[in-house]
Amino acid sequence: MRIRRIVLIACAVAMIPAVGSYAASMLKPSNATLAIRTIEWLRTNGGAGLVSKIETIYYSLTAPSKGGPQLKALPKVGVALANGGTVVKHHPYRPPRIAPLKRPALPQEGVWHATRANAGPYPPVLVTTFRSDPAEYPQLVAGVAWIDPHRTKLVLYPGTEQPSVQMPSRGPEEVPPSARKTLLATFNSGFKYEDSNGGFALNGHTYAPMRAGQGTIVGYTNGTVNVTEWTGGSSVPGNVAFADQNLPLIVKNGKPNPLLNDTAEWGATLGNAIQVWRSGIGITRQGDLIYAQADYQTAGSLARILIHAGAIRGMELDINSYWVSFNSYGAPGAREPTKLLEGTERPANRYLIPDERDFFAVFEKK
């Protein structure tokens, strides 16, 4: 009995640092649920392998079966586009409808919609949905947003915890109220810094070294934006407003990266082949941005969604329903927030309060 007491006391003493770490983490201000914060604490404190195994088993068991009835309708997104009006100053371009992968098309399938009423004939942000794989998975729906960088400004905001790099100031960690008058949309960034194997730069300063060959969304001080494979040095030049990396590109030259089927690199915790909520960002030949999100996707199927929507280069962003978010705002001042697809868990006002993860905000240029 004495030996048992000694062992129990020793175990209790050994647990004190872990209990203290967990309690401190749970007491931090956060808009995430206790369950999610517990999972993230386990990942950070030696339990990443266990969490990944549990998640892999769960998603494998809940993966959809092939076949089944076809959808009869798609979720409604956005508002109808105006048919007339004054041509805007910048290039008056509207992307073509995304062709359905199965005919007949469902009502409004692949048809672009404005994110707010009275947006004029050429809104700077458009949204649509389409069946991503009607042959094998007829119930799956992809949500897509088109962003015109000529008429928008893209801003990268650090979160309260991510990226986990030393910065003199993390900023507001939300879209500041003073900037919300022209806010059009917000969307998630990539993996946690420790999982992305990539660099991070903001306002011309490199906080995590840039890695050659990594997929990178980069914004320049002249307002242009690109999704590209990084070929520069470990530090960004002075004309870079932001640069955020997240693993190699999944779309190159308008085709899926051939390595997608050969490695588990595009999912630090779940790999590339587990069907889960995934998101990605791509760029078209015209230089416009394409954001996509969908449930039960592999890295390869996400690449095909981006390509079908018009991307010639694309990178995966965050995965899992809790971290994937695209929100648009139906009225100035970030009023009438709306999620692109309802299956994502976080509320439409996610980035209007401080958030753990870094994210992007899309503002209208005046």
**How many contiguous H segments (helices) and E segments (strands) does the chain have?**
5, 18
Read off the pLDDT of residues 287-306 as tens digits, 9 standing for 90 and up.
999 999 999 999 999 999 99
| Domain tally, the chain | 2
Read off the pLDDT of each residue in 238-246 and give the average, rounded to a whole number: 96
Range of the domain at 357: 125-364
Pick the last residue of a domain from 19, 40, 62: 62
Residue 10, Ramachandran bin (φ over 0: left; ψ between -120 and 50: alpha; else beta)? alpha
Residue 147 lies in a domain: yes
Residue 309 and residue 162 share a domain = yes
Residue 346 lies in a domain: yes
Read off the pLDDT of residues 93-132 as tens digits, 9 standing for 90 and up.
789 999 999 999 999 999 999 999 888 888 999 999 999 9
The answer to whether 349 and 327 have CB atoms below 8 angstroms apart is yes
What percent of the chain shows pLDDT beyond 90?
66
Better pLDDT: 92 or 358: 358
Residue 149 has pLDDT above 80, yes or no: yes
pTM exceeds 0.75 for this model: yes
Residue 97 lies in a domain: no
Pick the last residue of a domain from 43, 62, 81: 62
* Angle (nearest 5°) at CA 228 between 226 and 229: 155
Residue 340 lies in a domain: yes
Band of the pLDDT at 242, cuts 50, 70, 90?
very high
Neighbour tally for 190: CB within 10 Å? 29
Read off the pLDDT of each residue in 204-211 and give the average, rounded to a whole number: 96
Q: Which helix (H) or strand (E) holds 362?
A: strand 359-364
Pick the last residue of a domain from 62, 79, 106: 62
Residue 85 lies in a domain: no
Among 5-9, 293-297, 356-360, which stretch is predicted with the lowest mean pLDDT? 5-9
Residue 150 has pLDDT above 70, yes or no: yes
